[in-house]
Structure 1
């Protein structure tokens, strides 16, 4: 075709032909351009329908760009690993979660003294013990000292556009826009984690709208720079979720050998008095508080028979509302006790557990599922449903019952 173009060399004709094609077919928009189009044509109408002004919307996204280094993104043309890094990651021993608890405890004691009057008022208003509030504050942001570097709208916008959980982050970015619209917060002040959790209590925007509280009386809930507002917001979150005033979070106990570790779980509650009838008592010969005896409690074994055992109250599960990890809730409860009552340590030691990958744990979970067990999903994480399913399987096989995964069990279940 090009050889027949009159008066043109082959090279010149080729360049002319490419120019004609470029004119006929516009270049494909870049990913950043697609993002801008999505903001204008999709997110903005949804925000406007929820009462967000154009000025607020423009201010929120001014100077922001896609943040493509975030995890959990589906980027066009970039194939995710087949197995994924998380699948290969080592499943950590539960004891590792508590390695740095000392910093939270020492910082919490200092803050308890510095904010004594504020904490007393918050405890009276919300019914949440000050030690719990301080432990969460320390765990989430190092008492406000942790670096929280990301622009919330850059993170939330990117995730609403490209995340595997687009619907969830769409709701969060719309909530963030409402925060700016309703509270007059400067969008550039809204610093977040890589997941979009904001400020010292690490609230997602939907949580901010529901639970952020004014603790210093200035009429605003500033979870970025106000320590009083941060403390009040954490307490309000727990109170609204149903924290039971006057009850503890839980107690370390001695689990007799003849009591099954498969009795664990928030759906298998008994009164503390009933658990005592099984021979379960507090460590060190301590008595349970009299007012707790008729309250419901639940067996919790984060490492099965390889670590401490606990009777936890419904308040333990309010801590899990803040973060769904058993170990997070246990960390907070234990740190709170140490902040308020001294250097309490777990009386039962954490024993060594086999190093395994999350993929290996997931293989075990799928095998148990195939046998009719409810493990809570084959995600490579060892929650209470996986622990007690392992325990029941071990009991049926008449082998040592540990309620925790190990390499021998993996070999048997393959």
Structure 2
């Protein structure tokens, strides 16, 4: 008489056998297999991932130990050290005209090619086509950038031995859901080394929330479909609060009488109030009438050493896509240049060369004086910029809101 094993034990044994070690195991392969068996597979089943999907996608999976920033199994190793001796780069380096001159013609061509589709995307999501194209350009060069990595392998490796294991465990489950849904094959599901997938560079969880099938072929294809890529970017921005009838911001002349210490989205006021204080657009045109009673804020990515802007809330929606002032400004500026390919009117003045370490030391000193610099990370965000300015004013200097 053959005794039958309990079904739970059968499934456990099957999982152990399924995730077998390859013939030549790497240093962490055995631990990685145990991680898949004990943490990923149970969580995936609970999330509705079928055993057939697990069998197909996790069999033979090994960690990619070549990825940057890994710390060791469980995320318990020492994190990579930030090179605080590295030069702190001026924002001007991010806005070289050569970059925009290379991106503008292709963007204009795509706008013409997809004009009808872009109008439909704009009508549905309220996001201007030029903003969509600019993000597409920045993220993947309109799909021309090489995106070589196996997305599932990347997020599984990050969950196993990266710096944010709990976060990436969720991304592994999301990636398995994508594969189970059949929108893309494993071979085609490519990502960056950080797990950002396809032309709009969505993490798997963002794909599940925001990717859309706009070309009507039944698949949400952000890898090879221009139409799905554009619509997915628009959907992302719409869901993050894009205001339909507003632009991202305006380059302005900021009078010396308006202190740079007033920068930041927490210092918004009506644009008409800025006008009364002498703030004008560099184009010489008035602010659009529908903007005057809407809020805006001062934006000075280089303090008084660079161009000045009045930003709307849409600037910060772009920042939700990538948490960087310079990223969001690059997108907004490129979007403007699809119309008239002109550089900023304001100039990036020569800035004192420094290091991230020196900036961090300055931030710590400012914190000691009671300023909120947004964290001593060696990066000059708006909280650090205005704190520098406040300290300059306190000591009797004209505030530049920049190091030096």
1:176-208 per-position Cα deviation (integer Å, ceiling 9, x unaligned): 111122345312211000110000000011111
Match of 2:55 among 43, 53, 58: 58
Matches within 5 A, 1:258-337: 258-337=257-336
**Which residue does 1:378 correspond to in 2?**
376
1:192-227 per-position Cα deviation (integer Å, ceiling 9, x unaligned): 001100000000111111110111012221000111
Residues 357, 81 of structure 1: CA spacing in aligned structure 2 closer, same or farther, 3 A cutoff?
A: farther
Bigger radius of gyration among the two? 1
Give the conservation status (yes or no) of the 8 Å contact 1:59–1:187. Answer: no
Give the conservation status (yes or no) of the 8 Å contact 2:69–2:79. Answer: no
**Which residue does 1:75 correspond to in 2?**
72
Residues 184, 53 of structure 1: CA spacing in aligned structure 2 closer, same or farther, 3 A cutoff?
A: farther
Gap regions ≥5 residues in structure 2: 1-25
**Which residue does 2:4 correspond to in 1?**
none
Match of 1:354 among 352, 356, 359: 352
Distance in 1 (alpha carbons) for counterparts of 2:188 and 2:358: 43
Aligned residues: 377
2:68 counterpart of 1:97: no
Q: CA deviation at 1:102?
A: 2.2
Give the conservation status (yes or no) of the 8 Å contact 2:253–2:282. Answer: yes
SS state at 1:316 partner: helix
Give the conservation status (yes or no) of the 8 Å contact 2:304–2:402. Answer: yes
Gap regions ≥5 residues in structure 1: 1-28, 407-414
Residues 94, 52 of structure 1: CA spacing in aligned structure 2 closer, same or farther, 3 A cutoff?
A: same
**Which residue does 1:254 correspond to in 2?**
253
Give the conservation status (yes or no) of the 8 Å contact 2:301–2:325. Answer: yes
Give the conservation status (yes or no) of the 8 Å contact 1:61–1:154. Answer: no
Give the conservation status (yes or no) of the 8 Å contact 2:100–2:334. Answer: yes
2:10 counterpart of 1:47: no
2:366 counterpart of 1:368: yes
TM-score by length of 2: 0.90
SS state at 1:236 partner: helix
Match of 1:400 among 398, 401, 404: 398
SS state at 1:57 partner: helix
**Which residue does 1:153 correspond to in 2?**
152
Matches within 5 A, 1:117-266: 117-266=116-265
TM-score by length of 1: 0.88
Match of 2:33 among 32, 36, 40: 36
Residues 382, 31 of structure 1: CA spacing in aligned structure 2 closer, same or farther, 3 A cutoff?
A: same
**Which residue does 1:13 correspond to in 2?**
none
Worse overlay, 164-173 or 308-317: 164-173
1:325-361 per-position Cα deviation (integer Å, ceiling 9, x unaligned): 001111101100111x211221111111122221221
SS state at 1:248 partner: coil
**Which residue does 1:87 correspond to in 2?**
84
Q: CA deviation at 1:372?
A: 1.2
Distance in 1 (alpha carbons) for counterparts of 2:356 and 2:214: 42
Distance in 2 (alpha carbons) for counterparts of 1:93 and 1:39: 44
Residues 73, 278 of structure 1: CA spacing in aligned structure 2 closer, same or farther, 3 A cutoff?
A: same
Distance in 1 (alpha carbons) for counterparts of 2:183 and 2:279: 54
Distance in 2 (alpha carbons) for counterparts of 1:192 and 1:314: 30
